[in-house]
Amino acid sequence: MESLKELILTECDRLKQGVPCDFVGVALQNRNDPDITWPYAMGNRNEKYKYITVRYGKGIAGKVISSGTPMGITNFPETILGKITDYPIMLAEKLVAAYSVPLVWNGLPKGALLIGYRNARQFDEHEEQKLREVAKHLESFLSSHFTDE
Amino acid sequence: MELKSGNQACSYIIQSQEEEIKRVALELHESINQNLYTLQTGLNFIESGIEQPELKNYAKEMSGLMERTIREVRLLSVELYPNTLSTLGLTAAVKSYAKLFTNTFGILIDVDSQGEEKLVSDPESLAAFRVCQEALINIAKYADTDKAKIAFTWGEFSVKIEIKDTGKGFDTNKVMESGRSMGIAAMGERMRLVGGQCNLTSELDKGTTVSIVLPIQS
Ligand SMILES: Nc1ncnc2c1ncn2[C@@H]1O[C@H](COP(=O)(O)OP(=O)(O)OP(=O)(O)O)[C@@H](O)[C@H]1O
Ligand SMILES: [Mg+2]
Domains and CATH numbers, chain A: 4-110+126-143 (3.30.450.40)
Q: Tell if the CB–CB gap between B105 and A88 is shorter than 8 Å.
A: yes
How far does Cα A134 stand from its chain's mean position?
11
CA distances from B5 to A57, A148, B8, B12, B207 (A): 44, 69, 6, 11, 36
Contact criterion met (CB below 8 Å) for B127 and B155: no
CB atoms within 10 A of CB A18: 16
Q: What is the DSSP string of B103-164?
A: HHH--EEEEEEES------HHHHHHHHHHHHHHHHHIIIII--SEEEEEEEE-SSEEEEEEE
Give B-chain residues touching A51 at CB under 8 angstroms.
Answer: 102-103, 106-108
CA distances from A100 to A62, A68, B20, B191 (A): 10, 10, 37, 42
Q: Mind listing the pLDDT tens digit for each residue in B126-138? A: 999 999 999 999 9
Distance CA A141, CA A139 (A): 5
Contact criterion met (CB below 8 Å) for B157 and B210: no
Among chain A residues, the shortest Cα distance to B104 is held by A52
Per-residue pLDDT in tens (0 to 9) along chain A, 149 residues:
578 999 999 999 999 999 999 999 999 999 988 899 999 999 999 999 999 999 999 999 999 999 999 999 999 999 898 899 999 999 999 999 999 999 999 889 999 999 999 999 999 999 999 999 999 999 999 999 998 87
Distance CA B57, CA A108 (A): 11
Nearest-Cα distance to chain B for A62, in Å, is 11
Q: What size, in residues, is chain A?
A: 149
Architecture of domain B84-215: 2-Layer Sandwich (3.30)
Q: Is B199 helix (H, G, I), strand (E, B) or coil?
A: strand
At B6 the pLDDT is 65
Q: What angle separates helix B90-105 from helix B53-80, to the nearest 10 degrees?
A: 130
Residue type, A16: K
**B105: contact with A, CB 8 A cutoff:** yes
Instruction: Look at ligand 1, atom 8, and give the residue with the nearest C-alpha.
Output: B138
What is the mean pLDDT of each successive set of 10 residues along chain B, which is 218 residues long?
Answer: 66 89 95 96 96 93 90 92 92 96 98 96 94 98 98 96 98 91 94 95 97 90
Residue type, A112: A
ipTM above 0.85, yes or no: yes
Q: What is the DSSP letter of A68?
A: -
Q: Tell if the CB–CB gap between B72 and A85 is shorter than 8 Å.
A: no
Measured in Å, residue B165 CA sits from the centre of ligand 2 at 14
Name the residue among B208, B104, B95, B76 with its Cα closest to residue A92.
B104
Contacts of A16 (CB under 8 A, 6+ apart): A24, A42, A43
Q: Is B163 left (phi over 0), alpha (psi -120 to 50) or beta?
A: beta
| DSSP element (H, E) containing B91 | helix B90-105
Contacts of A128 (CB under 8 A, 6+ apart): A70, A99, A101
Q: What is the DSSP string of B9-69?
A: HHHHHHHHHHHHHHHHHHIIIIIIHHHHHHHHHHHHHHHHH--SHHHHHHHHHHHHHHHHH
**B142: contact with A, CB 8 A cutoff:** no
Q: Which residue ranges make up each domain of chain B?
A: 2-80, 84-215
At B3 the pLDDT is 57
Q: Which ligand 1 atom is the nearest neighbour of the CA of B184?
A: 18
Residue A124 has, within 13 A of its CA and on its CB side, a CA count of: 5
Distance CA A117, CA A123 (A): 10
| pTM of the predicted protein model | 0.94
| DSSP element (H, E) containing A5 | helix A4-18
Among candidates B68, B105, B137 on the partner chain, residue whose Cβ is nearest the Cβ of A48 = B105
Strand intervals (E) in A1-149: 23-29, 36-42, 53-54, 71-73, 97-105, 108-117
Contact criterion met (CB below 8 Å) for A97 and A116: yes
Give B-chain residues touching A85 at CB under 8 angstroms.
Answer: 104-105, 137, 140-141
